Amino acid sequence: MAAELRLVRELGHLSIPAGMTVEREALYLKITYLPTDGMWQGQRLSFSLKCPPSYPIDPPRLVSSLPAPFHPCISPVNGAVCLNILRLDWMPVLGVQAILLGLEGLFHLDPLLLSDLDDVLNREAAELLNSDPIAYARRVNSV
């Protein structure tokens, strides 16, 4: 009950990034993102954010609908999304606003930020982005 109250309160004060919509059902959020620029411009990306009953003490789980976008931080197997703020950097003071901004940031990639290939969920995407950003962009747009 406390988790749902916190979520409702957060949603009432959100500043949703451009191109994003958020729909709530209990402790579950459906997020749709239509990037307005960059490699993913024109694509419709869908995610679900599931808050545990212990939210905000424990972080929510963010997953992409399948097939998942070709992205170093999104698992092609199960759609899991890797955001540091949902793992090691989670703090109860963070919330949906920070998660939406983190999600938006994932789609404005800088190859220099992916130098640690041990901390990605899609190694093929990370290696291609680092070695040949133009081929990576073509692959993103072919999906």
Active-site residues, by number, are 82
3-class secondary structure, 140:
helix
Q: Classify residue 84 as left (phi > 0), alpha (psi -120 to 50) or beta.
A: alpha
Give me the count of residues in the chain. Answer: 143
- Residue 122 makes CB contacts below 8 A (sequence gap 6+) with 68, 70, 71, 72, 73, 74, 75, 76
> For residue 104, what are its two tokens?
């938006």
